[in-house]
Amino acid sequence: MVIDMTRRGASGIRGRLGQLCYSSGLLHPLQRVRAWWQRDLRILAYHRVMPLPDPDTYAFDMELISTPPEEFREQMIRLKRHFRPIRLTDVVAALDAGEALPPDTVAVTFDDGYDDNYHVAAPILAELGVPATFFVSTGHIDTGRPYAYDWLVHMILVTVAPRLVLPELGIDVPLPKERALRRRLAGQVLLRMKWLDALAQTAMTERLEAEWNMPSDYARPFECRPMTWDQVREIEAAGLEIGSHGVHHRMLARLPLDEMEREVRESKATLDRELAQPSILMSYPVGGDRAYNDAVISATRHAGFQLACSYVCGTNPEPSENRYALNRLPVESNMGPGWFAAMLALPQLMSYPTAAHETNGPQVQPCSP
């Protein structure tokens, strides 16, 4: 999807209704009324916080940009002023003790581990005293290589190849010259490839790297790189939490069982070795129900993780019941201040819905605009 910078904050009926509620001053009273009868845990899901680039020149996935820095600061100020920011480890402690969470609790999370999390988001969080959890893919922290899905989008956007040929997906089309059309095509590829098993996804991407001579292992692009271990340790020392997002950012439920279990175990072992605090928090890469299942949950629990997040849209009325598959609320770059505020106050009405599943697809898919 190409983000139209002139229409941010007014995307669809949710954006317009959210802005109306925000402008009218109704949100805080509505939030207080809601808190009397529903004490669900809200978990915000971010990826990247960075200035919004020009989509015609930016050579990576725009949809991974959750919000620009100045708006992230305002979001965190609102969160601290009107809600109860909470650490996910405090959620674990409450669940273990059988205690109810207070009303209007909100946890802030980040997936993947991009280095703008360190340069931009973490300093804002530390300054404002807002806790957060950063879920990192340990293999990418180890190597510095870009994330595979983002690199695939990059290759499609910049290759000089005349055609995109992906027999794995039944795709054989000419590559358009216009960047916007290439973005649309890359989005379709990402959606379709996630029905493949994880090893087939990797093989397809690596084949394109070889055919187009664009190997990601030689690439350290400034615009798309993970944090280093020193950076991760620094934000942990500042009081922010680190959790697992797997080793290679692969869809765990799409891996062979033994490889899936190894990926879960090794991600925890690496975090425990590199960091001061033991790792007890997991976020499933990609995170819809194609990406995790009962076997993944079992492996996560058995590895020693005590709580896990999905990327299925929603709040958590009884977190003890879905402790290893907590729902989250995605923050997207087309949300203006009004929409964001309304999503926090009235999440069932204002958050992105869960996408309808395909006929032969899963029962629930990840959040999508």
**pLDDT tens digit sequence for 35-45:** 666 789 999 99
Rounded to whole angstroms, how far apart are CA atoms 367 and 350? 13
The more confident residue out of 123 and 33 is 123
Residue 1: CB atoms within 10 Å: 14
User: Which whole number is the average pLDDT over 340-349?
Assistant: 84
Burial annotation 136-157 (CB, 10 A radius, 16+ → b, else e): bbbbbbeeebbbbbbbbbbbbb
**pLDDT tens digit sequence for 181-195:** 999 999 999 999 999
Alpha carbon separation from 35 to 5, 28, 61, 328 (Å, rounded): 34, 11, 37, 18
Give SS3 for 243.
strand
The more confident residue out of 220 and 167 is 167
Domain spans, the chain: 10-145+226-350, 148-217
Strands 171-174 and 163-166: antiparallel
User: Which whole number is the average pLDDT over 202-229?
Assistant: 88
User: Which whole number is the average pLDDT over 232-244?
Assistant: 98
Q: What pLDDT score does 336 carry?
A: 85
Give SS3 for 31.
helix
Q: What pLDDT score does 361 carry?
A: 42
Among 234-243, 276-285, 322-331, 358-367, which stretch is predicted with the lowest mean pLDDT? 358-367
Q: Which CATH class is domain 10-145+226-350?
A: alpha beta
Residue 77 has pLDDT above 90, yes or no: yes
Yes or no: say if 313 and 330 are a contact pair by the CB < 8 Å rule: yes
Residue 305 has pLDDT above 70, yes or no: yes
Strands 42-46 and 105-112: parallel
Cα angle value 119/125/131 (rounded, 5°): 130
The more confident residue out of 62 and 349 is 62
Q: What percent of the chain has pLDDT over 90?
A: 76
For the record, the structure tokens of 207 come out as 């084949």
Q: What pLDDT score does 203 carry?
A: 97
pLDDT confidence tier of residue 339, bands split at 50, 70 and 90? confident
Looking at residue 161, what DSSP letter applies?
Answer: -
Mean of pLDDT over the chain? 89
Give SS3 for 42.
strand
Query: Where are the alpha helices (H) located in the chain, listed in sequence order?
Result: 12-24, 27-37, 69-82, 88-97, 115-116, 122-128, 138-143, 148-158, 179-193, 198-212, 229-237, 257-274, 294-303, 337-345, 347-350
Residue in the block written with tokens 């990797």 = 202
